[in-house]
């Protein structure tokens, strides 16, 4: 099993929940999870809080209290800029 940090996007597409857990365990504590709560406004207006967490090195982002449809549109809009 690969460490989480060695995985690519295609690896994640094929993973089950158990595979993801094994990849995290194989990372030996070097995995950062960031919880992003959608009820709060962005810390910096030009990007979402999830993008900000990823910028600062979060390996996994837990989305909490999110309207998935509006979040997807917001991310797509930020990438187009």
Give the pLDDT confidence score for residue 81 in this predicted structure. Answer: 43
Q: How confident is the model at residue 72 (pLDDT cuts 50, 70, 90)?
A: low
Long-range contacts of 4-13 (CB under 8 A, 24+ apart): 4/31, 4/59, 4/60, 5/30, 5/31, 5/59
Give the pLDDT confidence score for residue 77 in this predicted structure. Answer: 60
Residue 6, token pair as written in the block: 């060695």
**Angle value at C-alpha 32, between 30 and 55, nearest 5 degrees:** 120
- 8-state DSSP, 59: S
Please give the Cα distance from 72 to 60 (Å, whole number).
Answer: 17
pLDDT digits (tens, 9 = 90+) for 5-16: 888 888 888 999
pLDDT digits (tens, 9 = 90+) for 26-52: 988 888 889 988 778 888 888 888 889
């Amino acid at each position: 099993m690969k460490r989480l940090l060695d995985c690519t996007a295609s690896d994640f597409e094929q993973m089950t929940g158990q595979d993801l857990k094994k990849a995290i365990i194989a990372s030996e504590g070097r995995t950062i999870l960031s919880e992003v709560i959608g009820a709060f406004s962005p810390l910096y207006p030009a990007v979402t809080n999830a993008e900000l967490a990823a910028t600062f090195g979060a390996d996994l982002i837990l989305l909490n209290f999110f309207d998935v449809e509006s979040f997807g549109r917001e991310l797509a809009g930020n990438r187009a800029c």
